[in-house]
Amino acid sequence: MKTRISIFLLVTAVTCLLAGTQTSAETRQPATQITVYKDKSCGCCDHWIDHLRAEGFEVIAKDHDNMPEIKINYGVSRKLQSCHTALVEGYVVEGHVPAADIKRLLREKPDILGLTAPGMPQKSPGMQPEGLPPKDYDVLSFDHKGRVELFRRY
């Protein structure tokens, strides 16, 4: 009798363990895909891509010879431009925007065109060694009507 109970408990435990593993695999969210348009010779763009990948994004990098055309096509005005332009879930991300801000954007889903870190802030992801916190610059939101607002200050 003890042997039957022991076998029953063992089979039950293994079944529960397998069911739990299967459930967690089924509920695991796929990585958010982000497409980054960049100049093939831009090293800071590659470092920013590394930052995004380290934060769990699936990055599709596309080298482009005419970056001003990309920026115009996606509504990034001259004063908001940086070196690379990314697209994620219908939003534009211009320049060295930290992954944390992109995640917040996707979580909150504001009615904007996108985010930008204009220019090339020296203490931003991709412009400084990985792991250092962003510092001394602003991430801005912008919309289709040309409105620009502070999204986050570092």
Mark residue 70 as left, alpha or beta (left: phi above 0; alpha: psi -120 to 50; beta: remaining). Answer: alpha
pLDDT of the residue at 130: 86
Strand 33-38 to strand 85-88: parallel, antiparallel, or no bridges (unpaired)?
A: antiparallel
CATH assignment of 33-153? 3.40.30.10
CA distances in angstroms from 141 to 67, 74, 91, 147, 149, listed in the order given: 20, 14, 10, 8, 5
pLDDT of the residue at 2: 53
Q: Give helix 43-54 / helix 99-108 axis angle, nearest 10°.
A: 60
| pTM exceeding the 0.85 threshold for the entire prediction | no
Please identify every stretch of the chain with a pLDDT value under 50, giving residue numbers as ranges. 3-26
pLDDT of the residue at 87: 98
Domain boundaries, the chain: 1-30, 33-153
